[in-house]
Chain A
Amino acid sequence: MLQVQRPSTMNPSSYSLNELLIKRRGLRRQFLTLHGLKDIRIAILGGTTTNELVDLLEVLLLQSGFRPTFFQTEYGRYYEDAVLQPDEIVAFKPDIAYVHTCSLNIRSFPPPSCTENQLLEYIEAEIARFRAIWRSLGERIGCQIIQNNFELPAQAVLGNLDAVSAGGATRFVSELNRQIAAEAAANPRLLMQDLSVIAARIGMDQWFDPERWFSYKIANTVEGTFAIARSLAALVGAIYGRSRKVLILDLDNTLWGGVIGDDGVDRILIGRETPLAEAYTAFQEYCLQLRNRGILLAVCSKNDEGIAQSGFTHPDSVLSLEHFSAFKANWEPKHENILAIAQELNLGTDSFVFVDDNPAERAIVEAQVPGIAVPDVGNEVAKYPSILDAARHFEPVSFGQEDMVRAQFYEENSQRAKLEQKFANYGEYLDSLEMTAEIDVFNATYMERIAQLTNKTNQFNLTTRRYTLAEIQAAAADSKQVGIYGKLTDRFGENGLISIVLGRLEDTDLHLDLWLMSCRVLKRDMEIAMLDGLVERAQQKGAKRLIGYYFPTAKNGMVADHYEKLGFSPVQLDTAIATTWSLDVTNYEPRSRHIKILERTNA
């Protein structure tokens, strides 16, 4: 697959909204000539006219490497087309359905005389309509659903009391939003877009546009539409695992004020002594918050390593050395150091965000490192957190245990690397890791993590097929499919759920649609344990042969010989698009030697 290459003139984020409105069609045409775009189908169920939103969203998604196809309901028919006459939307087969409603679409607000008890009924009546929409989309299509909550109403006839009284419109919208959030928290298929905050950031007076509502049935200003489109593009990217994972930071005048090589650790600005020092402290705190939610931090600085590291011994430093998963301080060009960080962390540069106060460094890194995001943070540290936050590079769709401990995994990995050096024989090293694996068929506990992994694993991935949560659930329920996951634990800790294989039975052949593994557990013989687990379950279903496929991409070269190494025979090698392999399993003997397999927990 060809890498997506974008000339800088095609970066919509470099256009103002005014230019984008005028040049949209031309940009769209240029983007569509790119190779390697991922096709996605998005149905938009609008309570307002959604064409302007679709126009802007389309360009933003094209820029993020997607080629979207849209279906839009007629304005206002979001309920009817989802619940009463869903045939058209079902036939469209969307990957994502976006229910876009605003406070103007609320059917019945409580009257001013409403009591607290009556209010509950009004809330239930309104939410029931939306629940019916989500249920219908879930049952009839099974796609991912995005529902925005409501912006606060344009008018508050009760003044301040509007937010307090059971009959207040502001109060009512707040209660509805709380309900929608609760539904989204309980339903992994339902993602909530926080329209209330999007509108608040813009300001309600700049958000509502009654003239456009009366003329075109568009509820908000075009600035509002653009903000919705940007937030939605970030969410879609996150659904497909395109969110970024690593924040790479410069040091001097980025994480602290001053030049540590000249000023010395005692003179750098950090702490609470001056307003500027407070601003650097606040930025370090923001970075630490990102790390605590699973974003890896790395340093890339032109400095002597020892001097650079001494900055984190400053008594007021919020960050310390152990918070960084990679640390490059030397005099090599920054883009070379960033490529080295990519190798060290086993992650693609398209998962990186780079922050540096120096515009020249930003420019060269942006030009030389493929796919990296280099936000224009300017050089005022007080603004860094809000600029980074607004760019939505790290948008998550869910936040689980996995995210909280991810940085920990990478730390343990470097301990494992140190251990590795002490053994003459690799098998001895593997034994010393005291590994145990849990290998089992897909089950409800892990569906979300499984879908997530299929969307973000690029390197150790034989077919690079992406699955939505609904597709994984369907595969698990299908008796003709064998889907297994693997979790691995070793003496340093849990590696979590790190491998997935999914096969489809045709007669006595099991076709392997998916085989992937997290690079965190490379060279641990986990693929052998997975093969054992797979064969056992395939045989139970009557399979005599495994058929494996390798589809080469720009990123999965490391598994070109995966099936060969596992003893498969080549069936078809003479095509650049795919190679095909087979393994007779009628007399298969388990091969795993270094990993203890846990008894099945939920047979």
Chain B
Amino acid sequence: MPDLLPEIQEIFRDIFDDPSLVITRDSNASTVEDWDSLAHVNLVTAIEKRYKIRFALGELQELKNVGDMIDLIQEKLASK
């Protein structure tokens, strides 16, 4: 399965309009400036549309960082 991190980093760079933003599997809302609750809605919506997936209620609350999020996206893509 391809590594989604580069794509996810690109999405983060576009959404936060910061071409030098570096995202790792450990990144989370406290390490990325501007990642507040409003930006979070934008991120989730954009990712859902981009990968044509839906996060179920409660799924997102359990994620600790970008790595967890990528794993969840992979899981959903694999079961499509």
Contacts and interface: CB of A to CB of B under 8 A. Distances in A.
A25 B16 contact: yes
Nearest to A214: B57
B56 to A, nearest CB: 8
B35 to A, nearest CB: 13
Interface in A204-232: 211, 214-216, 218, 222
Interface string B14-27: 11110000000000
Contacts of B80: none
B41 A23 contact: no
Interface string B52-80: 00101100100000000000000000000
B41 A22 contact: no
Interface string A14-33: 00011001111110110000
B41 A26 contact: no
A322 interface: no
A216 B60 CA distance: 12
Given A25-B15, A25-B17, A214-B57, A18 B46 contact: yes
Given A17-B49, A211-B57, A22 B11 contact: yes
A28 B17 CA distance: 10
A77 B38 CA distance: 18
Q: Which of A18, A22, A24 has the most CB of B within 10 A?
A: A22
14 contacts: A21-B49, A22-B46, A22-B50, A25-B15, A25-B16, A28-B17, A29-B17, A49-B41, A51-B41, A52-B42, A52-B45, A211-B56, A216-B41, A222-B45
Interface residues of B, number: 16
Contacts of B54: 211
B14 A22 contact: yes
A22 B48 CA distance: 11
A55 B14 contact: no
B42 A215 contact: no
A561 to B, nearest CB: 47
Interface in A1-43: 17-18, 21-26, 28-29
A55 B42 contact: yes
A296 to B, nearest CB: 40
A21 B46 CA distance: 6
Interface string B24-50: 000000000000001001100110011
Contacts, number: 42
Given A214-B57, A215-B57, A222-B49, A23 B38 contact: no
Contacts of A211: 54, 56-57
A26 B14 contact: yes
Nearest to B17: A25
A22 B15 contact: yes
Contacts of A216: 41
A26 B17 contact: yes
Given A215-B57, A215-B60, 4 more contacts: A24-B42, A26-B14, A51-B38, A52-B45
A25 B13 CA distance: 10
Given A22-B14, A25-B15, A26-B14, A52 B41 contact: yes
Nearest to A22: B14
Contacts of A55: 42
Contacts of A22: 11, 14-15, 46, 50
Nearest to B48: A222
A55 B11 CA distance: 17
Contacts of B56: 211
Nearest to B57: A211
Given A18-B46, A51-B41, A52-B41, A23 B14 contact: yes
Nearest to B56: A211
Contacts of A25: 14-17
A55 B57 CA distance: 24
B44 to A, nearest CB: 9
List of 10 A-B pairs having minimum Cβ-Cβ separation, nearest first: A25-B17, A21-B46, A18-B49, A22-B14, A26-B17, A51-B38, A22-B46, A222-B45, A216-B41, A23-B14
A223 to B, nearest CB: 9
Q: Which of A18, A21, A25, A55 has the most CB of B within 10 A?
A: A21
Given A17-B49, A18-B49, A21-B49, A218 B41 contact: yes
A442 B8 CA distance: 60
A211 B54 CA distance: 10
A433 to B, nearest CB: 59
